[in-house]
Amino acid sequence: MAWMAQDPDPETRDELAALLRRVGASLPGAADDLRSRFGSRLAFGTAGLRGELAAGPNRMNRVLVSQAAAGLAAFLLERAHPDTRPSIVIGYDGRKNSRVFAIDTAEIMAGAGIRAVLLPRLLPTPLVAFAVRDLGVSAGVMVTASHNPPRDNGYKVYLGDGDDGSQIVPPADAEIAAQIDRVAATLDVLELPRSGEYEIADESLVERYVEATAAVATTPRELRQDAGAGLTVAYTAMHGVGWETFSRVLDRAGFARPVIVEAQIEPDPAFPTVAFPNPEEPGALDLAFETARAVGAHLIVANDPDADRLAIAIPDGSSASGYRSLTGNEVGQLLGWRAAEAAAGASVEPGDDLLDEEPSATLACSIVSSPALGAVAREYGLGFTETLTGFKWVSRAPGLVFGYEEALGYLVNPATVRDKDGISAAIALLDLATELAASGRTIADRLDEFSGRFGHYGSAQISLRVTDLAQIDAVMSALREDPPAELGGLPVERIDDLSRGDGGVPPSDVLRIVLPGARVMVRPSGTEPKLKIYLDAWNDDGSLADRRDAVVELLQKLEGGMRDRLS
């Protein structure tokens, strides 16, 4: 078979040979497994590549990654100025084959005549986004599957120059994909030119990231040492690569080191203590809760395996674990308020290091994140932008000073990193917690203050998993053709069909249902076979308890109404 003949990896060659023997013996499931691997190709899109490690074009492996590297090299050479040599920085995390894929990429890039710089060791994803700008290179690649299951890996691409270190967006993704398809159709990966003449980035690059990220903390250093000394924090890296870099940033910023979840602090591609290494998943933070209870922690800080996301939990006596995980929207509200205060106080002007044609300081979030950030922006007279889901869009908001999306992604230092960054976000949150502790307050108190000032906002989600993607199309079509006049007894004020450009963003298969004091967003998942429904409600009448009760009631009505509609 042609695929096996060009596969440089003996593990996947042997795996495929064993599968072919199973097919030849007509063993149950073997033919379906072969069709799953070879019936289609893992698509390269705005998230790059991501999938299970295994043989075949619909899996992550050295053949597919080599084709991707060669296609990306061709794209960079084609778009480069004739007198300019393209360049790229390549990073990798602790997942299986991450370093192998990164070295394959570096060798193929160097063989194509592109200056390739490999990061010195496994490091968090934000280091690549930082390095693209810091080194002034044409592009960046990060080999990671972020918080996906243990058997997955991925290939994320950033662009430099005018893209300023943001992730790829159309039409670049389609242009790169076309080059990858051309390579796959016409070239044997064993015949691709390779070179060992790539560079290893100097440790000073990491040091510059550490310095810039430590600067996110704005409280007086003595306050971090005094008030921070009374703030007990538990931290987990979720078997990922966050701790080594995060600990250096903490030291530089003057924060006390947290109590670590020992069993999860070192990178481990097997992720032995979690079924799913995503801090949003039930059970993922159980060891962090256990550690926090043992030391009486005031705060739990968690990064996902490549440290581009941040999860926070706070004490909660009503919870069986003793702690409550904050939603991404709650953390986004807190960090957005912090950024708004700083921006309003600094009279922010557009800087040379930001994207072109920026308005004054802007807060941004994805369309499925809480409307609460818009209320903050209005209060402080700042710009507010809603984008399509994904930080490839959030990071491009003009005049950005803070951006987030509800899936635990936060961008607190856009002058340094144009992507979500769980390390800088953790520093910003710790800085806020330290400031609050100095006046005898907590993160929970700050959330109450938010509700008192801007109104109380609540959110919930419904995920409808399907076995046939046609079911999702049917649901979306039914909602468009027979739109609801009410949901849970609440009248529908209007429905925005974002596929027609109704939402002020590029066309996308999303419906926004607007009701009094509430909103429902309906969209197909971009990565899984499910329909995702985001429920948001808000209230600013009466006492804090009144506001909370009203929002809880609204969310219950919305959920009931949507489930009735989908049943």
List residues with catalytic annotation. 146
Cβ(417)–Cβ(407) under 8 Å?
no
Give the Cα-Cα-Cα angle 351, 355, 359 (nearest 5 degrees): 70
Residue type, 482: D
Q: CA gyration radius for the chain?
A: 24
Residue 141 pairs in a beta bridge with: 90, 157
- Of 213, 166, 176, 124, residue with least CA distance to 391: 166
- Position of tokens 């992550």? 60
Q: Within 25-171, where are the H helices? A: 30-38, 62-79, 98-111, 125-134
Distance CA 497, CA 515 (A): 15
Gap between the Cα atoms of 336 and 214, Å rounded: 19
Q: Distance between CA 184 and CA 182 in Å, rounded?
A: 5
Distance (Å, whole) CA 454 – CA 374: 10
Among 504, 338, 295, 319, residue whose Cα is nearest residue 424: 338
Contacts of 456 (CB under 8 A, 6+ apart): 538, 539, 540, 544, 547, 548, 550, 551
User: 272, exposed or middle or buried, with CB in 10 Å at 0-12, 13-18, 19+?
Assistant: exposed
Please give the angle made by the CA atoms of 453, 454 and 459, to the nearest 5 degrees.
130
Determine contact, residues 532/523, Cβ cutoff 8 Å.
yes
Q: 199-200 and 409-411: which strand pairing?
A: unpaired
ω into 269 cis (within 30 of 0)? no
Q: Alpha-carbon distance 352 to 356, whole Å?
A: 8
- Maximum Cα interatomic distance, the chain, rounded to a whole number of Å: 72
Which of the 8 DSSP states describes residue 494? Answer: E
Whole-number Å distance between alpha carbons of 313 and 331: 10
d(CA 183, CA 429): 45
- The span from the CA of 539 to the CA of 190, in Å, is 62
